[in-house]
Amino acid sequence: KEAETDFSKEIEELRAFYRKEALERKVLYNKLQELCGNIQVFCRCRGDSPENLCFEVASDEEVVVSHKGTKKTFFFDKVYSSNATQEELFNGILPMITSCVDGYNICILAYGQTGSGKTYTMMGTKDKPGVNIRCHLTKAFSRKSTVCFTFMMSMTEIYNENLIDLLSNPPTNHLEIRTLGKSIIVPDLTQIDVKTEEDILNVMELGEKNRTMASTNLNFESSRSHLILTLRLAGNDSVSGVTSHGTLTLCDLAGSERISRTEAIGQRLVEAAFINKSLTSLAQVFSALKCNALNVPFRNSKLTHVLQPSLSGDAKDEACVLMNISPDMKNVLETLRTLQFGTSIQQVGLR
């Protein structure tokens, strides 16, 4: 009996040591993020380059844009040339994505004009899968053998300030966003329990199928809406008894372009106005966070309201903006707008 007592005491000491080590690791990670900034800004240059390029990739952190005889240089955390593979891009954000296994809230946003490669970056193709397909996190579970995970998945899109549930059958329109204490919830949102990579791929296939159905029923192109994929993770460590909750939010934003450039009329003009309103609201949120404003205007649009839990959490939370730019000289003004947006959100701290 005395041996059993000694053994139990030893187990408790090991658990305490394990918890202490895990906490120290998180503290070090948080300090590193404070130095680097909670928001990382990456730039990806679309392939199939025309002869008349509007920019050049000067280094892994530098892109130079040529316009009307002048050159303007932009610096970011990472710049991916048109030769960069899907795998290279994903490996660049992999440490951030897998950190949600440790209980962090992570948000990845793809930003840029229509046709700049946002959807290719996020969804990819069957042969060259994008961020959404690669981030299934099941591989990350293997390095946490003592932790039992549950994994819930949802897919929504926002079209003309209409929040649509893509996993309900049929797709549900006009979902409400409510505040519950310090939390933001969508009461009727469908969330599906997933356990394997195949489960996740099947859910994404269902979401894409319903997205096509929703766009047909409401008569709009999917490129005119924001697509949001959310993965919620809960872990329970059998050794330390510690529980963790992380969220990975992946957002393929609608195209950002000037209304005057698109020459939109009728329904397309209305769509463009809603898109610009939501993207302007996103910029205002980042600006307020950067200035440590007391009031951050998350409720100015459905997009920023939905993203509020991802952008207003603890200092440990992180975001990455993947700016996609077109090399074509005719798109140079849109390219400059995208790069200027990326520059404006550098060194933003989440809170």
Considering the domain boundaries, does residue 152 fall inside one?
A: yes
Enter the pTM of the model.
Answer: 0.85
CA 218 to chain CA centroid, nearest Å = 26
Percent of the chain with pLDDT over 70: 79
Residue with the two structure tokens 């990350």: 140
Q: Looking at residue 45, what is its pLDDT?
A: 92
Which residue, chain included where needed, has tokens 């996103």?
282
pLDDT at 212: 79
Binding site, residues?
A: 112-119
Question: Residue 154: what pLDDT?
Answer: 96
Instruction: Decide if 144 is inside a domain.
Output: yes
Do residue 114 and residue 228 come from a single domain? yes
In a domain, 244, yes or no: yes
Other CB atoms within 10 A of residue 64 CB? 14
**DSSP assignment string, 186-215:** -TT---EE--SHHHHHHHHHHHHHHHHHHH
Domain assignment present for 193: yes
pLDDT at 150: 85
The pLDDT score that the predictor gives to residue 49 is 60
pLDDT at residue number 325 = 94
Which residues lie closer than 8 Å to 346 by C-beta, 6 or more apart? 37, 39, 41, 76, 77
User: Tokens 């939501």 identify what position?
Assistant: 278
**181-189: Cβ within 8 A, 24+ apart:** 183/309, 184/305, 184/306, 184/308, 184/309, 186/156, 186/306, 189/154, 189/156, 189/165
Place of tokens 């981030």: 135
Q: Residue 6: its pLDDT value, please?
A: 63
Would you say residue 218 lies in a domain?
yes
Q: Which residues contact 214 (CB under 8 A, 6 or more apart)?
A: 157, 159, 164, 166, 171, 173
Domain count along the chain:
2
Instruction: Identify whether 95 is part of a domain.
Output: yes
- Considering the domain architecture, whether residues 99 and 242 belong to the same structural domain is answered as yes
154: containing domain: 38-345
- The answer to the question of residue 351 being in a domain is no
If you ran DSSP here, which 8-state letter would residue 224 be given? G
Same domain, 121 and 6: no
The phi, psi pair for 196, rounded to 5°, reads -130, 170
pLDDT at 171: 87
Helical (H) or strand (E) element with 107: strand 105-111
Same domain (yes/no): 190, 126: yes
Query: CB 60: neighbour CB atoms within 10 A?
Result: 12
Query: Same structural domain for residues 178 and 325?
Result: yes
Structure tokens at 11: 């187990």
**Distance separating alpha carbons of residues 346 and 41, to the nearest angstrom:** 7
Round to whole Å and give the CA distance between 298 and 305: 5
Dump the DSSP string for 232-266. EEEEEETTT--EEEEEEEEEEPPP---HHHHT--H
Same domain assignment for residues 28 and 42: no
Are β-strands 78-80 and 55-59 bridged in parallel, bridged antiparallel, or unpaired?
Answer: unpaired
Query: Which parts of the chain sit beneath pLDDT 50?
Result: none
| Partners of 318 in beta bridges | 106
69 and 12 belong to one structural domain:
no
Minimal CA–CA distance to 114: which of 258, 212, 270, 278?
A: 258
Which CATH number do you get for residue 133? 3.40.850.10
In a shared domain, residues 239 and 102: yes
Binding annotation for ATP: 112-119
Is residue 350 a part of any domain in this protein? no
